[in-house]
Structure 1
Amino acid sequence: MSATPVLLAVGHGTRDPAGVATIRALLDRVRALRPWLHVAECFAEICAPSLEDAVAGLTGPAVAVPLMLGRGYHSLVDIPGRVGPDVVVTRPLGPHALLARALADRLRATPPADAVVLGAAGTSDPSGIADVRSAARMLGRYLGRPVAHGFAASAEPSLPEVVGALRRRGARRVVVASYLLAPGFFHRRILDCGANAVSPPIGVHDALAALILRRYDEAAAAYGRAGEAPQKAISRA
């Protein structure tokens, strides 16, 4: 039996100290849910420790969990290309029903709405755009109402356009569910989209912490089969 792999959580990285603090507090929640598991942190860019420094400090196998809400360059190309042969890279966190639950909780901090929009950061990857559409459908099923989606940058439809279109169709109160893990540049862009209210980023939430552990467990199972070498990355579906 191999040693229990380290959970290496890979954040995107931000210059906003509140965003970094939120990611670290989220990982503290993960540690609280599973105190016997070694949970390490690093960032794909901007922040320290870097992914390379974190991997260099490993003394055994690890499972890298991209703290990203959908497929894109970092989760599909960048992170798998920067880790060593003893590190498995999981699929990104979303879309997932646990995220819909967390988003619904954050929406409770906003006033009643005629229309709800899922506001995402944006991506140039078609699979990432599809993931946001799926996440909006999941949130809609959870809320029992239609949920549109829009992007703060780098993809269509743009969030201000979606908010404006809903107003033209008669929605007086439009609320955006911030589909982000932590505050930072993209949350500020979402705040400026013209909606009546914007929910806080998902942040520190038990459902999100449980999802990080679920992604870890999906990949760590490979280490439990004697004699089986881990793959570089698991399914990206």
Structure 2
Amino acid sequence: MRPPLLAVAHGTRDPDGTAATEELLGRVWELRPDLAVVLAYVDVVRPALADVLATLHGDVVLVPLLLGTGFHLRIDIPEALAAAPHVRARIAAALGPHPLLASALADRLREAAVPADGPVVLASAGSSDPRSRADTAAMADLLADRLGRPAVASYLCGGTPTPADAVAALHAQGHREVAVSSYLMTPGFFARKAAATTGTVASAPLGAHDAVARLVLDRYEAACADRGGPAEERTGET
């Protein structure tokens, strides 16, 4: 039997955000109905990761529904696993950066009917972790390649520039049309902040896009096969 896929999301108080996460996991299950798919959250929403781990035993592949290698992936998730010695988990890499996300972001921009030319500001939640910010910058490069026009990384908190500052800088350079690409998993507080960026049209968050669902499964398979070494085993032992 294949080990279950334990998807771990951040969590949001916005019910639309929770619904979007559940829809994404439903799409993952539709693509792989032979696979047990379990959902947990690291913050705000239940079921909490610790509570879900208490119901599991043996081998698990944990796939973070996170877009960068930040605090939750480096600290919170390993600590929860260390407190669950009955679980033998492999932790997959964060979802981003990845070309599949660039495809999903491009689709969301088209759905928002943003201008077909001009630069794009990639609006991420942000992080105090420089590795997470570097992941966002790499994602901006992938999006620029996908769109064939410039994409600038920005951070709604925990980094600079903010989306508003990035848009202002592009306007100062003479760009009249600037779009905001919401590099966020679901609707919620940060998505509303991105959408409120002055003088732009903002796309919707990634949500339950098929490319994101395929990426979740790709991360799962990579962790199972230990391809490329981003996953690491956590047995709960310290």
TM-score in terms of structure 1 length: 0.91
Displacement, 1:169? 1.2
Query: What residue in structure 2 maps to residue 54 of structure 1?
Result: 52
AA paired with 1:140? A
User: 1:221 matched to which residue of 2?
Assistant: 225
The answer as to whether partners of 1:13 and 1:43 remain within 8 angstroms in 2 is: yes
SS class of match (1:160): helix
**2:178 is aligned with 1:174:** yes
Q: Is the 8 A contact 1:176 1:195 kept in 2?
A: no
The Cα of 1:149 is off from its aligned counterpart by: 1.5
Q: Deviations over 1:105-130 (max 9, x none)?
A: 10102221422111111100000010
Alpha-carbon shift at residue 92 of structure 1 (Å): 0.6
How big is each residue's C-alpha offset from its partner over 1:133-177, in whole Å with a ceiling of 9 and x where there is no partner? 000000000111111111111111111110011111111121001
Q: CA deviation at 1:10?
A: 0.3
Counterpart code for 2:27 = R
% identity of equivalent residues: 45
CA offsets per residue over residues 15-64 of structure 1, 9 Å max, x none?
Answer: 00000000000000000000000000010011111101111111331111
CA contact (8 A) 2:118 2:150 kept: no
Q: Which amino acid aligns with 2:128?
A: S
Name the residue aligned to 1:225. Answer: none
Unmatched runs of 5 consecutive residues or more in structure 2: 227-231
Letter in 1 for 2:91: V
Partner residue in 2 for 1:88: 90
Cα RMSD, aligned residues only:
1.4
Contact 1:10 1:43 in 2 (8 A): yes
Match of 1:111 in 2: 114
What secondary structure is seen at the aligned counterpart in 2 of 1:108?
A: helix
TM-score for both structures, normalised by structure 2 = 0.90
Query: Do residues 11 (structure 1) and 34 (structure 2) align?
Result: no
Cα distance, 1:221 vs. partner?
A: 2.5
Counterpart CA distance in 1 for 2:122 and 2:225 is 33
Number of residues paired by the alignment? 224
Check conservation: 2:118, 2:149, Cα contact below 8 A: no
Give the aligned partner of residue 30 of structure 2. Answer: 32
Equivalents in 1 of 2:225, 2:79: separation in Å? 22
